[in-house]
Structure 1
């Protein structure tokens, strides 16, 4: 099984570090095992395969993956493309309701900070929350990044 895009799709240009899925501790271990069995070993390969609705459907069918778990993992990987967002911060952003880089780009730090505080109280992901300045930097960088995850007409969110 290849991790490349299908023949009629152009590969997505991803920047940032390539990280083995096994090293991303914020991802569900059972999900990672199923993805590795398909030959999807790193964050870039998963973003490539799961970028489109069709790709996600195929992954779920091929590996018996729960759609919500796959989408959650993709949200975390997408958010971690932003400079300064580590895996735990990406998971915290997702828990606070931020799903994708374009979603982050439309947020305001004033509204997002209390949501991050609330999510961190529930999940205890970060020992120290990011400052307003850091969150502002994340948002500004998110505005410069291309959209990677695309969605079908059925509002494929949870």
Structure 2
């Protein structure tokens, strides 16, 4: 998978910092020290690196709509794991109606599957 549906504009900077895939971004940016190093090498602000890493972490969940989740206020796997499927699906629909991020909003069943997957994933990102 290309590194950056996440960060198209930052792709060259991250590649220069030695990040060539979503998996590498997650591995190298999983810790505060790793994100600090990536920020220094790429000259991308640390806050933005953290957003990219959190987005990459969400990609570990099969079929997840990361951009839609983030627009609905779900930025991390641990946040997703704490959500109620019905409430989140309603929020995703509202956000998508307003922002037109995707052609099809995930069903409540899909959202419930994402939440269960998030609960079972090993924690990767530390803060």
Q: Please, what TM-score do these two structures have when normalized by structure 1?
A: 0.74
Structure 1 unaligned residues grouped into runs of 5+: 1-18, 152-158
3-state SS of 2:40 partner: helix
Question: Which one of the candidate residues 4, 20, 23 is aligned to 1:41?
Answer: 20
Task: Confirm or deny that 1:97 pairs with 2:73.
Answer: yes
Alignment root-mean-square deviation, CA: 1.4
Structure 2 unaligned residues grouped into runs of 5+: none
Task: Confirm or deny that 1:77 pairs with 2:56.
Answer: yes
Q: Please, what TM-score do these two structures have when normalized by structure 2?
A: 0.91
Question: Which one of the candidate residues 106, 114, 118 is aligned to 1:142?
Answer: 118
Q: How many residues are matched? A: 127
Question: 1:31·1:69 contact (CA, 8 Å) conserved in 2?
Answer: no
* 2:102 alignment counterpart: 126
Q: How far did 1:68 drift?
A: 2.9
Q: How far did 1:33 drift?
A: 1.1
In proportion to residue count, which structure has more helix? 2
Q: How far did 1:123 drift?
A: 3.0
Q: How far did 1:92 drift?
A: 0.9
Aligned CA distance change for structure 1 residues 35 and 100 (closer, same or farther; 3 Å): same
